[in-house]
Amino acid sequence: MSTLPGKKRAPFIVIEGLDRSGKTTQTSKLHSRLTENGIDATLVKFPDRTTAIGKMIDSYLRSTSELDDHAIHLLFSANRWELATTIEKLLLAGTAVVCDRYAFSGIAFSASKVDSTGAPLLPFEWCRDPDVGLPAPDLVLFFDITPEKARERGGYGEERYEKEEMQLRVRNFFRRIGEEMDGEAQSAGGTRWISIDAGREREEVEHDVWGLVEPLVTRGVDGPVGKLWTKDP
């Protein structure tokens, strides 16, 4: 049951960012803290490896299957669309949604893929198109971290994409997406994008996240859920 005042809906909060930046650690802490404070909240994560589509993504990421670059990109997007109606319903019913990665990872990682000559395999706009119209987050907290700091955290793992060269390109694409979101908050569906220095101690990051999220969940949000990269809701 909603704990929000009047006809307000709950906010959609996304934590995005680079590998090893602490997204999973902090989305989980945030979800627990909201619940402990009596605020209705649901935690979602993309890729959601539990669905049929998610299982295909999982096997691709662990390199146990091969897929065309276009096909895997569309599967990542479809994996979000599978949950789109659920997310919207939760928000309208007063349950805040905390999300670990979203469409921004989808664009940044796919647009960072290059061929053997270093030429991009998938155009940026093509990568964005399938996610146009998804529920728009009210707040994106972008976790920035230097490759050096990420390395201190045990370096990158064993999955596809977890290579430093790729991560540097991903970082640049995230910057571009963040600048565009800031510049076009309205056309982006009303999303606010805030960069967080994720290279600090867990407690410092948690403190900043809570400071940004707490007022939003307490106050609630007016109006319908926005649509990503779409002017009209």
CB of 22 to Mg ion, least distance (A): 8
Q: Does 47 bind ligand Z5A (CB under 6 A)?
A: yes
Query: How far out from the chain centre does Cα 189 lie?
Result: 15
> Residue 153: helix, strand or coil by DSSP?
coil
CB of 17 to Mg ion, least distance (A): 9
Which one of residues 4, 30, 41, 61 is an interface residue with ligand Z5A (CB under 6 A)?
61
Dist CA 190 CA 68 (whole Å): 33
Choose one: 121-129, 159-167, 186-194, 213-221; the region binding ligand Z5A (CB under 6 A).
159-167
Which one of residues 9, 20, 31, 128 is an interface residue with ligand Z5A (CB under 6 A)?
20
Dist CA 42 CA 156 (whole Å): 28
Which one of residues 2, 25, 51, 195 is an interface residue with ligand Z5A (CB under 6 A)?
25
Q: Does 201 bind ligand Z5A (CB under 6 A)?
A: yes
Long-range contacts from 163-170, C-beta under 8 angstroms, 24+ separation: 166/109, 166/112, 166/113, 167/18, 167/19, 169/112, 169/114, 170/18, 170/19, 170/108, 170/109, 170/112
Which one of residues 70, 89, 153, 207 is an interface residue with ligand Z5A (CB under 6 A)?
153
Q: For the chain, what is the largest distance between any 2 Cα atoms, rounded to a whole number of angstroms?
A: 57
Q: Which of residues 13-32 bind Mg ion (CB under 5 A)?
A: 23-24
Q: What are the residues binding ligand Z5A (CB under 6 A)? A: 19-25, 46-47, 61, 76, 101, 105-106, 109, 153-154, 159, 161-162, 201-202, 205
